[in-house]
Amino acid sequence: LCRITFSCLPASWYCSVSLLSLGCAPRQRLLLLLLLLITSTLLFLGTYQRQLWGPQRRPGSRVNNSGSRVFVYYWPPHNGNPHTLLDIRQMRDHDHKPVVKKIKPGISTLAKTPTRASDYLHPLLSFAAAHVPKSKHKETPLYILCTAGMRLLPESQQAAILEDLVTDVPLEFDFLFSSSHAEVISGKQEGVYAWIGINFVLGRFDHADEEDATVEVTTGSQNQRPISRRRTVGIMDMGGASLQIAYEVPSAITFNSPEEAGKSVLAEFNLGCDVEHTQHVYRVYVTTFLGFGGNMARQRYEDQLVNKTFAKNRFLTAQTGLSEEKPYLDPCLPVGLSESVVRGNHTLHLRGQGDWARCQEAVQPFLGLHNGTMSPGGVYQAPINFSNSEFYGFSEFYYCMEDVLRIGGQYDSDKYSRAAKVTTNAPLSRHIERP
C-alpha cells in the first residue's frame, strides 16, 4: 500500500504523487494553476494573482488523448474550513471560452530527434505565457510530467528528451523550472490524477446531501469509526498507449504477506492538509496496462497478423496478403476497407470483413485473462461492490461510443454490440460520408 503525500503547492512526486492539496488553507492571494496535458507529457504551472478574473467559475477537467493540450486553472484562498477543499476553477478568456490549446502529435515522437523537444513545446508555452501576467512568470512553477507514450521509450531516449527540456526551456521562458520538475511518471500516478480530477469536477468530495448515494469508509486509522460520505466514481481511461483503471476501495484489505503484489496497486492519500482530519482520506485501487491503449492494441493485433500470416504462407506456400489482389481478410476492419501493414521488409495487405463475432474471438487472447480473473494479465483486482458503484470511461472509450457508434451516454453492453455489428458491416461509403 503506497501512501501519497500532497503538499499545498505543486511539487514532484515522492512515493506516487505530490500535487497540490485540495484542502489547504493558505493565506496567499488568488492562485493560478496552468496545466498543459500532452499524450507523452503533463506540464503544471502555478502563479499568484488576485484581480485578474471576475465571477467565480466551475473547475475544469482534463482528458488525456493523442496530442498535446494546455488548460489554465486558478483558485482563491481556502475558506479555512478543514472539511472543505479548494475551489479550483478553469480560466476563461475575454469571450468566456476556456483557455485551452491543443497540438499534435505527442512528444514521444521526438525519440530520434530529442533536441527538438523544447521547440515542440514552444507553441504551448507561448500560449501559456500570454495568459499569465508577465510579472508573475518567475513565481509560476512549471512541471513536466511525462506519461504513457514516453514510458514506452528506452530510458536513454527518455533522458535525452528531458535533458533538452531542462536545458532549453529556461532560455526562452522565465517560469520557475528546474531539473527536478521534469520526469516520467508511472501509470499509477497518471491514474490517480484522473481519478481525483473527475471526482472533483462531479463534486464527489463535497459533503453528502440526503439524496446522494453514500458509502461507508474505513480510513485505516486506529480506533477510527467508519465514516459515511459521498460515493466516488471509478474511472477507465484508454489513451493511445495505455489503459488506466482507478476506483475507491472503501474497506481495508488484509494481505497474507507483506510481499503481496496487490499492495502495489493500492494508493492511500489525504486530500486535506490536516493529518488529524480523515474526512478526505481516500484508498484507491489504481493500475495501468501498458500496451492496452487504442493505438498500441491495434499495433499488437497487426503484429500478430503479420507474423502468423507470413509464417503460414511459408508453410503452405500460399500468397495471402502479399498483394492487393489477394489480401488477408481482416474481421476487425469495416467491410471493404483496405489497409497495408508494414513491418520491416514485409507488407501485409488487409481488406475488412466486418465480422464482429470473429473479431471478438481474434482479440480475446490479447486480454490475457486467466485463473478466472477479469483483469488483463491476471493483475490483482480489489473487490468491487457493483450494486453501489459507478464508472466513467474516457478518451478512446468516449470516442468509440460517441464519434464512431454515435451512442454516447450510459453504456449498455447489448446496445453497444448491436451498434458495433451495424457499423462494421456498413458499406465503406457510409464511413466516408459520415461527418
**What are the residue numbers of the active site?**
190
Burial class (CB in 10 A: 0-12, 13-18, 19+), 399: middle
Neighbours of 73 (CB within 10 A): 24
**DSSP state letters, 325-382:** TB-EEETTSPTT-EEEEEETTEEEEEEE---HHHHHHHHGGGG---TT--SGGG----
Q: Find out whether 31 and 78 touch, Cβ atoms under 8 Å.
A: no
Length of the chain: 435
244 has binding-site annotation: yes
Rounded distance between C-alpha atoms, residue 43 and residue 38, angstroms: 8
Q: Find out whether 128 and 169 touch, Cβ atoms under 8 Å.
A: no
Output the nine-digit C-alpha cell for 343. Answer: 513491418
Q: Find out whether 381 and 374 touch, Cβ atoms under 8 Å.
A: yes
Show the beta-strand stretches assigned E in 158-264.
Answer: 182-184, 214-217, 227-230, 234-238, 242-248
224 has binding-site annotation: no
Rounded distance between C-alpha atoms, residue 376 and residue 296, angstroms: 15
395 has binding-site annotation: no
Output the nine-digit C-alpha cell for 2. Answer: 503506497
SS3 state at 95 = coil
Residue in this structure with the C-alpha cell 505527442, named with its chain if needed? 106
Residue in this structure with the C-alpha cell 466516408, named with its chain if needed? 432
From the list 53, 159, 62, the residue with the least C-alpha distance to 114 is: 159
Burial 133-158 (b: 16+ CB within 10 A, else e): eeebbeebbbbbbbbbbbbbbeeebb
228 has binding-site annotation: no
Longest pairwise C-alpha distance within the chain: 77
Output the nine-digit C-alpha cell for 211. Answer: 439524496
222 has binding-site annotation: no
- In degrees and rounded to multiples of 5, residue 10 shows phi and psi of -55, 135
Distance from CA of residue 363 to its chain's centroid? 23
Which residue numbers belong to the known binding site?
Answer: 240-244
Which residue numbers belong to the known binding site for ATP?
Answer: 240-244
